[in-house]
């Protein structure tokens, strides 16, 4: 007979004792962050689960129905074990720890079935994020962890990790707003999670000889767009919205820069500029180092996109003048229209502001600490190019008759 029945007359059954021990150990871990407390909690919850599953098997063998209360007890121990395993993976994000989580969490949602308890959505999101992190690790070809056994064939492969992460993010979107804590912000986070996975899939499919999975890139843009509409303008959503807008801008830029013959590359470049601008406006005036780092990167990406559009408009203007016979045979200089010059001016202004922040960080000897050496080099290089083009445009303008002053020049 199972342990539940053999212990029911001796005070609390063994499974209840193990469950209480698990709760106490996890509470101690939450307070002390001692790894041993977490291990004790996982071991106790697993012992409780084993006992309750044994009891379930005994009931089935005896042809006795399982009470709702007992089913809820099994779901409860699955929930607490899943939370503990998520905590373990957060502390030690190894494939072996993720594998153990992967063995437990599907059973939790199976036990819940169509029930959506209050923590349903948050657990879904945390599990999806864990698989997403595992997918990034698995595809980045990092050296194996000392925590993982060698040649462990049970470890999830990248395809499985991608599918599980994608399925869990998508599962969140099936929950209606207001149900079990589901909010518009959580919907946006799930949509962003899907979009980031699709962007990773696109990036992983690229090679020197292949364009990449443009369908995945199209889906990423679609999901980022939808996500950006899910976040509010309130302070608690500001960071989420900003990250979403920057990711959307990056996705548009990739489609402009990397997908040939897409038919809308110039439109994609314009959308990239629009969203980089919007994201850049959402940074706080008082920035810490992390905020400064991401602001510099966003500014540089915006300046690069503006420079690209300047080059396109400048070249197209030259071709149009050439077609109309307005360029003399000896004039090989590419003239620029007002739209191109406006982009050039904004690009230089944005990159100059990024340079000023970088220079201040250089004085604090923080460039290497913040790993900004490459971005500083890129900013300096682009500023040099922009300065050269600005000087050339000014020289061309000085040889032309000055335009009549506009009455709204300062508006």
Angle between the N-to-C axes of helices 265-280 and 289-323, in degrees from 0 to 180, rounded to the nearest 10:
150
Q: List residues bridging with 207 in a β-sheet.
A: 210
| Sole residue written with tokens 């959505």 | 121
Instruction: Provide the sign of the torsion angle of the four alpha carbons 316, 321, 325, 327, taken in this order.
Output: negative
Residue where one domain finishes, among candidates 43, 72, 94: 94
Query: Does residue 382 form part of some domain?
Result: yes
Rounded CA-CA distance 385/310 in Å is 12
Query: Is 208 a domain residue?
Result: no
What does the pLDDT read at residue 145?
52
Which residue in the block uniquely carries the two structure tokens 């990092």?
142
Is residue 358 within 8 Å of 364, Cβ to Cβ? no
Mean pLDDT by 10 residues, the chain (411 residues): 36 87 97 97 98 95 94 97 98 95 97 92 97 92 51 73 97 92 94 97 79 87 97 88 97 89 77 97 82 95 96 71 47 63 95 95 93 96 94 67 39 36
Q: Is residue 24, in this structure, part of any structural domain at all?
A: yes
Whose CA is closest to 305, among 375, 258, 256? 256
What pLDDT sits at residue 408?
41
Q: Which ranges in 229-288 belong to alpha helices (H)?
A: 235-258, 265-280
Locate 74 and state its tokens: 């099994």
What span, in angstroms and rounded, lies between the C-alpha atoms of 88 and 127? 12
* Alpha-carbon separation of residue 166 from 112, 130, 255, 272, 349 (angstroms): 20, 11, 22, 25, 40
Which domain covers residue 381, as residue numbers? 285-321+338-395
Residue 315: inside a domain: yes
Among residues 42, 68, 94, the one where a domain terminates is: 94
Residue 22 lies in a domain: yes
Rounded Cα–Cα distance for residues 307 and 324 (Å): 26
Q: What is the pLDDT of residue 330?
A: 42
Q: What is the pTM of this model?
A: 0.84
d(CA 290, CA 295): 9
Residue 188, token pair as written in the block? 């946006």
Both structure tokens of 330:
């000896």
Across 305-328, b (16+ Cβ under 10 Å) vs e yields bbbbbbbbbbeebbeeeeeeeebe
- 224 CB-near residues (< 8 Å, 6+ apart): 191, 192, 195, 244, 247, 248, 251
DSSP symbol at 210: B
Q: Helix (H, G, I), strand (E, B), or coil: what is residue 208?
A: coil
**Whole-number Cα distances in Å, 8 to 3, 13, 237:** 8, 5, 50
Question: What's the CA gap between 237 and 173, in Å, rounded?
Answer: 18
Cβ neighbours for 251, distance < 8 A, ≥ 6 positions apart: 195, 199, 217, 220, 221, 224
Distance from C-alpha of 267 to C-alpha of 233, rounded to nearest angstrom? 26
CB 304 within 8 Å of CB 382: yes
- Total structural domains in the chain? 2
Torsion-angle region of residue 210: left (phi > 0), alpha (psi -120 to 50) or beta?
Answer: beta
Q: What are the beta bridge partners of residue 210?
A: 207
Measure the CA–CA gap between 378 and 400, rounded to whole angstroms.
33
Q: CA-based diameter of the chain, in Å?
A: 104
User: Which of helix, strand or coil describes residue 159?
Assistant: helix
**354 in Cβ contact with 303 (< 8 Å):** yes
Final residue in a domain of this structure, among 94, 110, 143: 94
**Residue 128 forms part of a structural domain:** no
273, part of any domain: no
Question: Quick one: pLDDT at residue 310?
Answer: 93
Residues contacting 375, CB < 8 A, separation 6+: 296, 297, 300, 358
Residue 40 lies in a domain: yes
CB 119 within 8 A of CB 126: no
């Amino acid at each position: 007979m199972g342990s539940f029945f053999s212990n029911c007359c001796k005070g609390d059954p063994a499974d209840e004792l193990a469950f209480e021990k698990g709760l106490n150990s996890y509470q101690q871990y939450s307070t002390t962050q001692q790894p041993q407390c977490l291990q004790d909690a996982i071991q106790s919850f697993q012992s409780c689960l084993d006992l309750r599953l044994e009891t379930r098997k005994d009931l089935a063998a005896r042809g006795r129905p399982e009470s709702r209360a007992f089913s809820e007890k099994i779901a409860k121990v699955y929930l607490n074990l899943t939370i503990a395993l998520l905590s373990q993976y957060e502390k030690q994000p190894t494939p072996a720890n993720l594998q153990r989580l992967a063995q437990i969490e599907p059973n939790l949602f199976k036990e819940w079935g169509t029930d959506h308890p209050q923590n349903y959505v948050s657990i879904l999101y945390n599990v999806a994020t864990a698989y997403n992190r595992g997918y990034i690790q698995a595809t980045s070809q990092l050296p194996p962890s000392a925590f993982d056994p060698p040649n462990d064939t049970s470890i999830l492969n990248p395809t499985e990790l991608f599918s599980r992460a994608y399925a869990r993010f998508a599962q969140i979107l099936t929950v209606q707003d207001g149900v079990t804590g589901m909010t518009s912000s959580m919907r946006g986070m799930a949509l962003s999670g899907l979009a980031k996975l699709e962007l990773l899939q696109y990036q992983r499919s690229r090679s020197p000889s292949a364009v990449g999975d443009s369908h995945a890139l199209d889906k990423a843009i679609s999901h980022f767009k939808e996500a950006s509409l899910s976040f509010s303008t309130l302070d608690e959503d500001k960071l989420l919205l900003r990250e979403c807008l920057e990711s959307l801008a990056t996705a548009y830029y990739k489609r402009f820069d990397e997908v040939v013959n897409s038919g809308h590359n110039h439109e994609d470049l314009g959308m990239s500029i629009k969203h980089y601008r919007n994201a850049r406006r959402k940074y706080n005036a008082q920035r810490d180092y992390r905020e400064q780092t991401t602001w510099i990167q966003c500014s540089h990406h915006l300046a690069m996109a503006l420079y690209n559009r300047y080059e396109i408009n400048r070249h197209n203007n030259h071709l149009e003048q050439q077609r109309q016979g307005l360029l003399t045979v000896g004039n090989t200089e590419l003239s620029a229209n007002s739209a191109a010059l406006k982009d050039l001016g904004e690009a230089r202004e944005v990159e100059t502001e990024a340079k000023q922040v970088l220079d201040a960080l250089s004085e604090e000897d923080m460039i290497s600490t913040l790993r900004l050496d490459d971005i500083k080099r890129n900013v300096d290089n682009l500023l040099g190019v922009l300065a050269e083009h600005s000087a050339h445009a000014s020289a061309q303008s000085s040889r032309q008759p000055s335009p009549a002053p506009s009455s709204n020049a300062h508006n």
